[in-house]
Structure 1
Amino acid sequence: MTPEARLAAAAEILDGYLAGAPAEKVLTNWARRSRFAGSKDRATVRDHVFDAIRRRRSAAWLGGAETGRGLIIGLLRARGQDPEAFLTGQGHALSPMTEAERVVPAAPAGNVALDCPDWLEADMRDSLGDDFRPVMEGMQERAEIFVRANLSLGTREQAQARLAAEDVQSEPEPLAGTALRLGQGARRVRNTSCFQEGWVEIQDAASQAVAEAVPLQPGARVLDFCAGGGGKALALAARSGERIFVHDADPGRMRDIPERAARAGARLEILDGMQLGRNAPFDLVISDVPCSGSGAWRRQPEAKWRLDRAALDHLQTVRQEILDRVCRLVCPGGLIAYMTCSMLRSENEAQVEAFCAGNPEWNLELCQRFSPLQGGDGFFLALLRRNA
């Protein structure tokens, strides 16, 4: 595919997304009916689509319309490229620009320039302070790819050398002792023997840092209550060598855990709701709770535009219900590691303060934020200890 055809395909996919379909679903359907598109074509089209979604407000402003075509025009202008060079109408390119589209608007300002929903600005400013602008600008860019070196199999340096031998370049990431930031060849990492033999797992550096900051005692009984795909449970298993129990309200989210655990040589045991009580109490319960996902908007930009006040308020209730449930699963003297990939104070400090106020047998031992300005996603960790 030509560069012009890739942009036209991205515009078509964006129209499907703007009509209400998940971008991943539209991309998958496009790829299935576009067998002529090679792997590089698909990767480039995907990048165009998600770059445009990250900048949905500012790209629509610069492109003159919130349509797939408008977002592509605006995205090209944001990149410093002339849209007329790509909208030629030749081959499979988008049709030439109209006179109205040739009028370049003034540079966007305020929340439009930062791609920040207006209703969320006050909360974001209150939570981020002076970091509000640089963080929101960072959310407009593509996230880097990190892997976690599986220290149960070898050192980070050995994992780095194995990746290099398969033409995947990486460098140590200071945020976590297990983290490698991928460079050239990053998209091929899943095809390497290093990945397939469990030496590395794809995991954001801040997520690794959060798992690294959780205290682990030898022989501790550990439950990952909101396990999802099992990333943090795998990291804890690599640290301890112990069996880690995993649970999720949606069992479908855990479908890859057995394969991932086998690849990494980890002992993860899935518990359903009935089995939780029979295996309690636990010394440590990891609660990576549902949240706005604002710290991970670079990776999941659709979440920013789906979120509204009603959803944010509902999530607060869900988190409180989770804390009320997991606190009954922890033994005296045990810990809850409360985690979010959010940057909002209402989902982080305010949530744990409210929990402690209503549950005097629990004490807050640690609050730690990880900012996207440090390189990884935005993350939050609170350690809550139950009185002995």
Structure 2
Amino acid sequence: MTPGARLQAAIDILDTILTGKPAEQALTNWGRGNRFAGSKDRAAIRDHVFDCLRCKRSFAHLGGRADGRGLVLGLLRDAGTDPAALFTGQGYAPAPLTEADAPNPAPMPRGVALDCPDWLLPAITHSLGPQTDDVLRAMRHRAPVFLRVNLARATRADAVALLAQDNIATRPCALAETALEVTENARRLRQSRAFTEGVVELQDAASQAVIAALPDLAGARVLDYCAGGGGKALAMAARGADVTAHDADATRMQDIPERAARAGAAITLQTQPNGLFDLVLTDVPCSGSGTWRRAPQAKWALTPERLTQLAGIQRSILRQAWDHVRPGGRLLYATCSLLDAENSQIVAGFTADTANATLGAIQRLTPLDGGDGFFSAIILKES
């Protein structure tokens, strides 16, 4: 496909997404309907689509319109590229420019320039303070790809060398001793020997940092109460914990047995958790605001009503999980959110209302630290 044809494909996919279709579904459906597109074409189109979704407000401003065409025009103008060179109408390229394609001449308001919904800007500013603009600017760009080295299988240096055999370049990340940032050939990972042999797993560095900050887990009975795909459960198992995984939707855990087998880990799955544990991890459902570089559509879908609903879910999960913490044990509350309404306010309210709960160490990470935005807090249960 020509560069112009790739842009037109991105326009068509974006128009589908703007009707409410999930981005991944729209991309998959386009790929199935256009099997002539090679892997490099599909990768380039995907990058265009996600770049536009991250920067939807500012690109619409630069493109002079909020449809797929306008967003792609904004993408090019933001990069300093003259759209007229690619919008030629030739070889499946977008139609030539018209007066309707002129950029918005007005200055960009702050929320537009930072690609943040106006209603959310005060809450994010309150939560992040002087870092707000820098964090939001970082969120306009693609997230790095990180790997977690399975220390039960290899050292970080060994993993680097093994990945290099498949021409995958990496460098250590300071957020966790297990973390590697992929700098070349990330799309080869799933076919690499290091991945298939369980030496590395895809996991953001901030998620790894949350587990790395925990005290010694060797022999500890741990319940991952909102396990999902099991990334943190696997990370804790690699540190010697006896891990039980649970999720309210058991189908989310369907990949854990295969991932655990690949990693050489033993993880027990429970649809109804029972018993008491030394540590209970609650990585609760949240706005995902710390991961909007990876899932930008969620940024525009979030509403004040949904944020309030999520806070209620978070409080409910804390109460349920607390019953599984043994006296003298700990609960780790975690979100991939940047918002105080889902973080400090939740744990402060819980510890204030729970007689035997004491707030311990708190960790806050933003994309300025290198990985996703993440919050974690230890809550101690008195004996």
Which residue number in structure 1 is paired with residue 219 of structure 2?
Answer: 219
CA RMSD across the alignment: 1.0
Is the 8 Å Cα contact of residues 62 and 107 (structure 1) preserved in structure 2? no
SS in 1 for 2:239: helix
Q: Distance in 1 between matches of 2:150 and 2:217?
A: 19
Q: Distance in 1 between matches of 2:372 and 2:16?
A: 28
Q: Distance in 1 between matches of 2:86 and 2:224?
A: 49
Is the 8 Å Cα contact of residues 218 and 239 (structure 2) preserved in structure 1? no
SS in 1 for 2:211: helix
SS in 2 for 1:183: strand
Spell out, residue by residue over 1:330-375, the C-alpha distance to the aligned partner (whole angstroms, 9 max, x if none). Answer: 1100100100000111111111000001102000111110121011
CA offset at residue 107 of structure 1? 4.8
Which residue number in structure 2 is paired with residue 73 of structure 1?
Answer: 73
Q: Distance in 2 between matches of 1:263 and 1:107?
A: 53
CA offset at residue 33 of structure 1? 1.0
Q: Distance in 1 between matches of 2:363 and 2:373?
A: 11
CA offset at residue 270 of structure 1? 0.5
Is 1:236 aligned to residue 236 of structure 2?
yes
Q: Distance in 1 between matches of 2:177 and 2:139?
A: 25
Report 1:137-156 matches (<5 A). Answer: 137-156=137-156
Is the 8 Å Cα contact of residues 4 and 87 (structure 1) preserved in structure 2? yes
CA offset at residue 165 of structure 1? 1.1
Q: Distance in 2 between matches of 1:99 and 1:331?
A: 68
Report 1:127-206 matches (<5 A). Answer: 127-206=127-206
Spell out, residue by residue over 1:79-108, the C-alpha distance to the aligned partner (whole angstroms, 9 max, x if none). Answer: 111111111000110100102324563452
The unaligned stretches of length 5 or more in structure 1 are none
Spell out, residue by residue over 1:129-185, the C-alpha distance to the aligned partner (whole angstroms, 9 max, x if none). Answer: 000000000010000000011000010000000001110000000111000000111
TM-score for both structures, normalised by structure 2: 0.98
Is 1:252 aligned to residue 247 of structure 2?
no
Amino acid at match of 1:191: Q
SS in 2 for 1:119: coil
Which residue number in structure 2 is paired with residue 59 of structure 1?
Answer: 59
Amino acid at match of 1:156: R
Q: Which has the higher helix share?
A: 1
SS in 2 for 1:93: coil
Spell out, residue by residue over 1:253-284, the C-alpha distance to the aligned partner (whole angstroms, 9 max, x if none). Answer: 111111111100011111012xx12xx11110
Is the 8 Å Cα contact of residues 62 and 108 (structure 1) preserved in structure 2? no
Is the 8 Å Cα contact of residues 359 and 380 (structure 2) preserved in structure 1? yes
Change in CA separation of 1:238 and 1:100 when aligned onto 2, cut-off 3 Å: same
Q: Distance in 1 between matches of 2:178 and 2:105?
A: 46
Q: Could you tell which deviates more after superposition, 55-64 or 104-113?
A: 104-113
Amino acid at match of 1:169: A
Report 1:88-99 matches (<5 A). Answer: 88-99=88-99
Q: Distance in 2 between matches of 1:188 and 1:308?
A: 37
Change in CA separation of 1:103 and 1:281 when aligned onto 2, cut-off 3 Å: closer
SS in 1 for 2:280: strand
Match of 2:361 among 339, 359, 366: 366
Q: Distance in 1 between matches of 2:24 and 2:334?
A: 26
CA offset at residue 215 of structure 1? 2.3
Report 1:341-360 matches (<5 A). Answer: 341-360=336-355
Which residue number in structure 2 is paired with residue 49 of structure 1?
Answer: 49
CA offset at residue 218 of structure 1? 3.2
SS in 2 for 1:342: coil
Q: Distance in 2 between matches of 1:142 and 1:62?
A: 19
Amino acid at match of 1:134: D
Spell out, residue by residue over 1:36-64, the C-alpha distance to the aligned partner (whole angstroms, 9 max, x if none). Answer: 11111111100000000000111111111
Is the 8 Å Cα contact of residues 65 and 101 (structure 2) preserved in structure 1? no
CA offset at residue 252 of structure 1? 1.4
Which residue number in structure 2 is paired with residue 29 of structure 1?
Answer: 29
Report 1:319-330 matches (<5 A). Answer: 319-330=314-325
TM-score for both structures, normalised by structure 1: 0.97
Amino acid at match of 2:86: F
Which residue number in structure 1 is paired with residue 262 of structure 2?
Answer: 263
Q: Distance in 1 between matches of 2:100 and 2:154?
A: 60
Q: Distance in 2 between matches of 1:103 and 1:231?
A: 43
Is the 8 Å Cα contact of residues 64 and 102 (structure 2) preserved in structure 1? no
Is 1:338 aligned to residue 355 of structure 2?
no
SS in 2 for 1:333: strand
Is the 8 Å Cα contact of residues 154 and 199 (structure 1) preserved in structure 2? yes
